[in-house]
Amino acid sequence: MRFFLIACFWGAAAVAKESVEPSTYDLLNNSVGGTYVRESQFTVANTPDWPLPKPVTGDTDPWGGVHVHDPCILKHDGYYYSFTTHNLVGISRAKSMEGPWEKIGSVLEGSSIINNTGSADPWAPDVHKVGDTFYCYYSVSTFGSQNSSIGLATSKTLEPGSWTDHGPVLTSTPDAQFPLNDSNAIDANLMVVEKKNEVKEAYLLWGSFWSNIWGVKLNEDLSMPEDALDNAIHYAYDSTIDTHPVEGPYLHHARNGYYYLFVSNGVCCGYNNSLPDAGREYKILVGRSKNPEGPFLDKNGIDMVNGGGSRIYGSHGIVYGPGGQGVFTDDNGEDIIYYHYVDLRVSLIDEDKRLGWNYLKYDKDDWPYLV
């Protein structure tokens, strides 16, 4: 999610300028009144193989339009719909991925019915159409807390005002059943394989920090089996850093037969207050398997449960800290990866994070890359 142990500071703005070395930027943090706060310098990777995000236009108010965090995108009835953290799961739509993206409302009409101090500010939506129903999984929590829940809202139309909040699906606390006592129930991702409009397999993944990424197999009606947690699957874990900064799982079943597990790794937020050490900022990693339950190996054959994961997108040029990713297949059969990122020409504050997207291609060995 992308908000673990990171306080968000909305009061400061940041201005970025390109220095003599194209991959190095001097950042001047200024208060709202323009008072100098700090000067710092950091270097981002000069990687020409990583493309810039495709351009987008649209509404520029926070939490919708072109400014999103933890986006989810799908297409329905000729429109692309995006969903974002904050704004009660803000909804925007556009006729093309380039935009213009128009804010049209929210999934929830008020605080979630989940009993959690974070219920007024849901995070990390994950929206899918299964059969004739749209399912929106969302997260409620508080910063740095494991007392978290994944909620579910459903709709027949996607439109604001049409959603029914069903409350919690999973809840993590230190006293919960394993692995919910050792994980953080946020950043949900539903992966469904349908054949002839019938669900053949369905999995619900979650996780942020703690013991990272877990998942359970669902019933064909997307309900939770009674023994789901007893048979929970450990998908990814990074023990190489003491904070275990892996979160935001997204499991994509590609046409080549592989299941690809995308995760975000690193510090997601609050860059205007404190920049992480170089390489510790958000980035997107991937592993793959022929089985939706894994193991998911990276290009070097390392299991993602053992710290594996091949980096496919990270900081470069004017892009900093990309993550919160998801993937969908467009009507023309092309896979699209979407994410949020900081545009270093604009600002480091979370409210200015932008919607990024690129086409996702596969090399001769079936490894994904962005174009």
Give pLDDT tens digits for 51-92. Answer: 999 999 999 999 999 999 999 999 999 999 999 999 999 999
The arithmetic mean of pLDDT across residues 16-41, rounded, is 33
141 membership: H or E segment, kind and range: none
Distances from the Cα of 31 to the Cα of 6, 272, 352, angstroms: 19, 10, 15
Residue 44: per-residue pLDDT: 53
Give percent of the chain with pLDDT exceeding 90. Answer: 82
Beta strands in 71-132 (DSSP E): 72-76, 79-84, 90-94, 102-106, 123-130
Residue 7: per-residue pLDDT: 35
Q: Is 153 exposed, middle or buried (0-12, 13-18, 19+ CB in 10 A)?
A: buried
| Residues making up the chain, counted from first to last | 371
Residue 198: per-residue pLDDT: 83
* pLDDT, the chain, mean: 89
Residues labelled catalytic: 70, 247
Query: Which position has the token pair 């929210």?
Result: 106
Contacts of residue 26, Cβ cutoff 8 Å, sequence gap at least 6: 16, 17, 19, 39, 40, 41
Give percent of the chain with pLDDT exceeding 70. Answer: 87
Q: Which of 17-26, 53-62, 137-146, 233-242 has the lowest mean pLDDT?
A: 17-26
Structural contact between residues 185 and 149, judged by C-beta atoms closer than 8 angstroms: yes
Q: Is 188 left (phi over 0), alpha (psi -120 to 50) or beta?
A: beta
Residue 38: per-residue pLDDT: 32
Contacts of residue 166, Cβ cutoff 8 Å, sequence gap at least 6: 151, 152, 153, 154
**Residue 123 three-state SS:** strand
Residue 8: per-residue pLDDT: 34
* Domains observed in the chain: 56-370 (2.115.10.20)
Residue at 118: amino acid letter: G
Structural contact between residues 164 and 100, judged by C-beta atoms closer than 8 angstroms: no
Q: Is the pLDDT of residue 285 over 50?
A: yes
Structural contact between residues 274 and 321, judged by C-beta atoms closer than 8 angstroms: no
The model's pTM is 0.89
Other beta carbons within 10 angstroms of residue 167's beta carbon come to 14
Confidence of residue 36 (pLDDT cuts 50, 70, 90): very low
Residue 47: per-residue pLDDT: 59
Structural contact between residues 312 and 274, judged by C-beta atoms closer than 8 angstroms: no
Q: Is the pLDDT of residue 224 over 70?
A: yes
Q: Which of 12-16, 98-102, 116-120, 325-329 has the lowest mean pLDDT?
A: 12-16
pLDDT tens-digit profile of 226-247? 999 999 999 999 988 888 899 9
